[in-house]
Structure 1
Amino acid sequence: MIEAIQKFLVKMQQQEHVYPLIHQAEVQVNLRCEHQVVQLVIKNGAVFILQNPSAQQSIYEISGNEAAMKQLIEGTTRLRLLEQKREIKVDTSLRIALLLESLFFLTKAQEDLAKII
């Protein structure tokens, strides 16, 4: 899962069209996959991960198996669809869930468009 998140972070830095979504957001969400927890932080227009997620508490969490979490992070399947299929559990507000879904999906969608052109 960590590799998928690192790829996502690299793609985020290359795609300015998603920055209006995060320029004023301040969110910390734990991404839990089996025994691995990574804290994704959105703050001051930046997205990064914390190496020691236990150091800072997060009230939001998304958890699921490795395949479902990878689909989410890579933007191949939308967060709410994975939740409806009960492949992931989402413990966030709807606003935060929609923000994360948009970030993951738009980052992937832009990559697909570049392949077409």
Structure 2
Amino acid sequence: MKLYCALMLSFPFVVLPAPQDLTWTTEKLLIAGQRSRLPFQPQWPATQSDLIAYSMTGVIPAGIHCQLELKLQEELLLSLPCTKRYVLERPLRITPGMKLELYLHNTNLFSPGEDVIIRNRVSLEVVN
């Protein structure tokens, strides 16, 4: 009986892949009233994968509207607010042809002619 239990514990029934992170460090100079897109072409995993969450570290100053957009060619598949951590309601299947962009639009942050540098690190949690 002990041998049977030991064998059962050594072979798990279900092996769930651990999420892996795809990281993207951004730095952008914004001028008051400017709209900007920061494109990124990640090296997606070789096979199709599921995007399950993303998070950002850094500071988005007040007055800047920020969205993370995922596109397949010109079709917008996903548009999410820039938050510290966002878990998708259901995983999104990603393929090598998809593009990521950060979309920034600042409105009343500062006077025309002033500028601000935004630095962020975007981390995508993906499972195969």
State TM-score, norm by structure 2.
0.25
Higher relative contact order (CA 8 A, sep 6+): 2
Greater helix share, structure number:
1
State TM-score, norm by structure 1.
0.27
Q: Which has more radius of gyration?
A: 2
